């Protein structure tokens, strides 16, 4: 009986590892699909793909960063800022995310200033 249980646990472990690897690959495919869509200026499609990644893996700094870029492209400044904030919290040392966020702040200073004025 003990050998049977060990065997079933081993099979279950192999299944779980295989499934998690497959799930990670599916998320990576969604990230890449979104990038391809963005390169063709299909921003709504890119947003759809990256939101799918975030729903499955809320800790994906890449997906949050990509969503921020897409929202920026669509003129959705507040949504872009929120996504950049999340991406930076998840990966504070990521130079690519930092550069995107700095460009966002530089390019949208009037938006940021208006938001500060509203709070005062």
Domains of the chain: 2-119 (1.25.40.10)
From CA 5, how far away is CA 44, in angstroms rounded? 49
Separation of alpha carbons 119 and 11, rounded Å? 57
What is the pLDDT at residue 115? 58
pLDDT tens track for 61-89? 999 999 999 999 999 999 999 999 999 99
Q: With 80 as the cut, is the pLDDT of residue 24 above it?
A: no
Please report the pLDDT score of residue 20 as a whole number. 45
């Amino acid at each position: 009986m003990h050998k049977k249980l060990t065997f079933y646990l081993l099979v279950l472990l192999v299944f779980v590892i295989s499934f998690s690897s497959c799930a990670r690959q599916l998320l990576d495919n969604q990230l890449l699909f979104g990038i391809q869509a963005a390169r063709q200026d299909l921003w709504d499609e890119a947003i759809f793909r990256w939101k799918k990644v975030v729903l499955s893996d809320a800790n994906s700094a890449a997906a949050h960063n990509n969503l921020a870029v897409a929202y920026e492209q669509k003129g959705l400044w507040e949504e872009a800022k929120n996504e950049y904030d999340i991406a930076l919290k998840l990966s504070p040392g990521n130079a690519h995310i930092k550069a995107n966020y700095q460009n966002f702040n530089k390019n949208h200073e009037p938006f940021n200033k208006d938001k500060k004025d509203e709070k005062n």
